[in-house]
Each structure stands twice: as C-alpha cells, then as structure tokens.
Amino acid sequence: MGHRRSLPKDHPWRKDRKHFNGKREDDEAPISLTGEDVLSQLEKLPTRIPGKHSNKNRKQGEEELNWTKRSILFELPYWSKLKLRHNLDVMHTEKNICESILGTLMNVEGKTKDTMKARLDLEDMKIRKELHLIKKNNDKYAMPAASYVMTKKERQDFCEFIRSVKFPDGYASNISRCITATDQKLSGMKSHDCHVILQRILPPGIRGSLTKEVREVLTELGQFFQHLCCKKLNKTELEKMKSDICLIMCKLEKIYPPAFFDIMVHLSIHLPDEALLGGPVQFRWMYPIERFLCGLKQSVRNKAHPEGSVAEAYIAKECLTFCSMYLKGIETIFNRDDRNNDLEFNDSLSIFEQKCRPVGATTLVNLSPEDFKSITWFVLQNCVEVDPFLDQHKEELVAAGCVNIEKQHIEQFPTWFKEQMIRIYKDDKSAKNESLYSLACAPRRCIKKFAGCIVNGVRFLTRERDSRRKTQNSGIVVYGNHGDETLSFYGVLDDIIQLDYVRGLQKEGNIVSVRVDGKWYEEDSYILADQARQVFYINDPKLGKNWRVVIPVSHRHVYDVSEMADEDIDADDVLSVENGVYQENVTNDPLEVGHGEIELLRRNDLDQEDIDDTIIQVGTRMVDATDLDDIDELDDTMVDYYSTDEASENSHGSEDEIDSDDAS
C-alpha cells in the first residue's frame, strides 16, 4: 500500500479516499539514501551479538530506524560510493508476484491473499463495504466473492487453456504438469514457469473471464515485466516504465486487499531504477547461478562428503577441457555443434545463400505446371541480382505500348531473362553470370520435400508433423507490404521444399489474434527461409475457436550484433551468458497504462463462503506498524534463494540504448 506517494502532486488519485485506503495521500515519494546516509544511520545502531535473541517480541528503538545490523560489506572502502549496492533479483521477484496473483485468482488454499483476515482488514479500514463479511442467523459469516477470484467454471476453462498451449522447441517446460487433477489448480511451478505464465500465458488466458479492470491491470503488469526483461533496454523507455509501474501498483491497490501487497510486490517499483544503473537483467538475475548450482548438485555422488564430490568433479572437468584442446577433428562436449545448428552456403547470388538445414526424411514430388510457374516467378522476383533485369524488361514493355503490363511482365519475363543470360554467359563466364544463368534455366520439376528445417538456429516443422508433437514449431510470421503500409502476415508451414537448379546450384527453402479460417494472397503462398520469423499460436478464449493468439518467439543464442574483425575483440571483453531464459530483443511497443475506474468489486455470480462465528472471534486483524514481531526471523521470501528445488530447475546504436557492452 501507499504507492500513491510516487504519483505527481496534482494526480486525482491522491485525493481518492473511496477506492484506496480511505485516506488522502499528501506525502511525497521517499528519497533514495546514499551510501553516506546509510552509514550515518548505522552509526547510531547498537552492537548486537549475532544469532537469535531470547526475546523475539522486542521493540525496535527509534535510533535503529529499519536496520537490524551493520553489513560487513560496509567495511569495503568503496562500498558507500556505489550507486547500486544491492541488486534485486528479477527472477524471484517475478516468481513470487506470479504465485500471489495465481493463488488469489484460483483461490488456492495457503497461497491466496483473499483470506478471512484480509476481509477483516477491509472492515477495520472502513473501505469496500461490499466485500465485508456478512453476519448470518446461524452464528456464521458469509464472505462475498470478489471480482478478482475465478469461478469454478472459469478455473476449469483456464486450466484447459493451459493444457492446450503448445510451445516451440526449447521455449518452456510442460506447464500443464503443474495442474492438479482434482481441484483444477496450479502448483509446483518453477521460476521459469512463472516467467512464461506472467508474461505470455496469463494475459490471453483471462480474456474470457474476470472483469475488465482486473484483466487490464494484469495484462499491463505482464507487459511491464516483458519490457523489463528485454535483451536490450532503452533509457527513454525505462524512464517511462518508472511512472507506469507506479500507476499499475495503484490500480492493483484499487482491486486487491492490503494483504496482497507484501514486500515482493512492492520491489517491482525499484526494478526500472536498477535497470538504469545495472543494465539488462540477463547479467544480473539468478538464472545462470541456479543453473550452475544445479550442475554442482548433480556432481555430488557421495552425500556424506558433498564438498569432496564437487572438487573431484571440477578437477575431472578441467582435465577434460585441457585434453580436448589437443584433440583435433574429434567431437567433444566443448566443440560439439548446437542441436539447432544450421548450414551456411557461400554463393555469388543472395538467393542461394539461405542458412537452412533440412531435417527429416526426403520425399520426391513432381510440381504441377501451375506451381512450377508460380514458384519460378517467386524466386526470380526475390533475387536482388535480378532486379536490374526486372526493371529493364518492364521498361521495354512500356516502350512497346503493351496493355496490362504487370500481367505481361509476369508471363514473359522468365523466357526473356533466359534469352538474355544465354547471350551474356557466352561472352562472360564469371561466377556471378554462371549463377544467374543457372537461375534463368529454372529449377527441376522434381523437388524435395522435408518435414522440418533449421533456419538461423530456429527449428521449424510442417503443420502435419507438428500435429503429432507436444511442441509447436509450425507457426510463422512474414513482414510484407500491403498497399502503402507494412503488415505482419501470420500463417503456418504446410510444406518445406528444396529446389535443385542446373550446375549443382541450390535454393534453400502486444496480444495479436488472427482468424485461422481467413487467408490473404492465396495465389502468392511462398516465402524464403530467411524471411520466416517463428511464432506460436494459442487458443483465444475470448473470440472463439476460429481465433488464435499470436506469440512471437525470441530465441536464445540469436543476437543482433554489429560485425567486427576478430583482431578487434579483446578476450577480456567477451561475456557469454547462457541462462536458457527467453527474452525479447527490444521493447518494440510502448507500454500504455490506462486510468479506468473500478466498476465492480463483488461478484454476484458466485455464492458467498460461510465462516463460523468462533473463527471471527479469534481472528487476528491488522498488525500495528510499530509492533515488529519476530524481527530476527528469516523472511520467508528468502527461502527461495537457497531452495534445493530451485537448483534442479529445468531450462525450459543510439546513445539512448543500454546494450550488453555497457552492462559488462
């Protein structure tokens, strides 16, 4: 609570008593303390013996402020000068927020924040009377259903929606394993599962349920983390995200009870500031560390002596690394190609340099005359080196006064181009002219079909092959022109074909919903391999069975970096982060946060929950802020950082930009 302090002084929500805590907010946002300010406060802190105190319910003195001890890191001479002294882990922050949201949405016992005590808090604060407990005649209380809680039917639909999601190869784990068979709820999610659910699955999954206000704020929260986790961050965008997350937190305050806002939810306010200081999150979050700890855990064979097992495994790995440097031409775990490694061809024509490696069995098929004509024209008009000939032929048609020039151009150009290349190739048999001559002679009518291919490190499969798998690798998007504007054309792969030319030359084959029964440009159905960008489709619970939500895929090991000579690279500047977590490359679409009002807090389509009177009498209400109970106890949220379960988690140039070099 209290996030209205970060709003501008003239913002109307500062005066809103009804939808917040019943009070007017006149305080300003707290000022961040410098290292010198922290040191001056720690000087007043009395020296304490490490460990737990016998009196757990002791009160903090006024001179202690919010400190319990002086960190040993302040012994470092430079520590007080650092701007970013403690790095907030985005991974665990995102995980805890996702679990709180899902636990409350699906009313998971022990995870929901909408409890009887939370309703008593609302009664004590005298706000949201429609959510107060209702006294019944039989000494029981009824708890009205809130707008942020799903009905049983909505929970079942949401679980079925998650079961229907098919991710691309290596994108995420099988999240449907977390759905319990009895009560249709989610449990046992790993950090990466929460990462994918909060950013990608939750926004489209709740489109057909809940109220507009709840859907809107949860979608905005998912977009915030999606933009924050991009591989490349923009300073201007981060400044806007600082104000956006304040509005998102305030909108959550208008919907959820005060018990929802624990320390982990509040930490999201500080994430844009830390990104401005520390750079992209892939260099600062816990995914690489957890994966490294997972490897150490797997090396423990003798659990009575774990340190010795780790040391022995480390020595063995160092020996293998040293020996592999002298093994030339032998595949080892250190020089083995990536699973989705593609092939690169060097040719004088760009059309023959498709980075594509076919996978699967080969099927020979003869093209029909119509398909042969269509695909031949497609290849010619997509070859950059043929563009001058295309312009020349069109100029000749215009000079000849032909009618319907475009149609004549498509029908006559292949024959005209072949005649031109025969004449040119007789005089000049250079490598480029040889390739153009092969292109002009057209491909063989017998083509090769494959069930899959790997392009630029991304695996694609045909729709027929994809239908028998648990993953989805057949969705594609191609950017093209439609009139005067550039549009995204979504579709699925029906066939992957390879054309054979003469002389051995080859040619290698925010929430967006698309209607699967609608088609554009059916007569122009071919694309090049490097024109494809992978997407995957999930069911749209709002628009119906003929609609799919498009999710773009940003793959790891695929980076858009500027090329430079090898001798310009300093070995000390090379930083490789293989954390196995999918991130967007850049923040393409700005995050827009609305200012809508809350229309309905209570759900009239759900029955009230009955509560015994005896429970109400012994229930604990709001805790006084001055009573610090169990102050020396370890915060429950820190348990995630040292959980052994987390270690076994499965991997599933403007000057305004902060790139990888700036962060390192």
Q: Is residue 300 pLDDT above 70, yes or no?
A: yes
Q: Is residue 64 pLDDT above 70, yes or no?
A: no
CA distance 532 to 254: 43
Q: Is residue 328 pLDDT above 90, yes or no?
A: no
Q: Is the pTM of this model over 0.85?
A: no
Q: Is residue 569 pLDDT above 50, yes or no?
A: no
Q: What's the start-to-end Cα distance of the chain, in Å?
A: 35
Strand order in the sheet with 496-500: 363-366, 446-450, 496-500, 506-507
| pLDDT, position 587 | 64
DSSP reduced 3-state for 93 = helix
| Residue 546 exposed, middle or buried by CB count within 10 Å (0-12, 13-18, 19+) | exposed
Residue at 320: amino acid letter:
L
| pLDDT, position 260 | 93
Q: Is residue 345 pLDDT above 80, yes or no?
A: no
244's torsion region: left (phi>0), alpha (psi -120 to 50) or beta?
Answer: alpha
Q: Which residues contact 260 (CB under 8 A, 6 or more apart)?
A: 100, 104, 113, 118, 252
Per-residue pLDDT tens for 598-644?
667 777 777 777 777 666 665 555 444 444 444 344 344 444 444 44
Say which DSSP state 471 is in.
S
Q: How many CB atoms lie within 10 A of CB 309?
A: 18
| pLDDT, position 560 | 53
CA distance 344 to 357: 8
Within the chain, how many helices (H) and strands (E) appear? 20, 17
| pLDDT, position 56 | 59
Q: Which residues contact 14 (CB under 8 A, 6 or more apart)?
A: 4, 7, 24, 25, 26
Per-residue pLDDT tens for 255-284?
999 999 999 999 999 999 999 999 999 999
Per-residue pLDDT tens for 144-160?
999 999 999 999 999 99
Residues facing 489 on adjacent strands: 478
Lowest mean pLDDT among 332-341, 453-462, 549-558, 587-596: 587-596
Lowest mean pLDDT among 6-15, 446-455, 571-580: 571-580
> Per-domain residue ranges for the chain?
88-285+581-622, 286-338, 364-446, 447-503+511-561
Residues facing 359 on adjacent strands: 452
CA distance 603 to 131: 10
Quote the tokens at residue 488: 């995204």
Q: Which residues contact 495 (CB under 8 A, 6 or more apart)?
A: 449, 462
| pLDDT, position 642 | 40
Q: What is the DSSP string of 391-443?
A: HHHHHHHHHTT-SSHHHHHHHHHHHHHHHHHHHHHHH---HHHHHHHHHHT--
Which three-class secondary structure string do you get for 178-200? HECCCCCCECCCCHHHHHHHHHH
CA distance 525 to 126: 63
CA distance 246 to 7: 7
pLDDT confidence band for 540 (50 / 70 / 90)? confident
Per-residue pLDDT tens for 367-393?
998 999 999 999 998 898 999 999 999
Residue 211 and residue 151 in contact, taking contact as beta carbons nearer than 8 Å: no
Q: What is the mean pLDDT of residues 317-324?
A: 88
| pLDDT, position 502 | 64
Q: Is residue 579 pLDDT above 70, yes or no?
A: no
Q: What is the mean pLDDT of residues 221-240?
A: 93
Q: Is residue 596 pLDDT above 70, yes or no?
A: no
Q: Is residue 577 pLDDT above 50, yes or no?
A: no
DSSP reduced 3-state for 536 = strand
Say which DSSP state 308 is in.
H
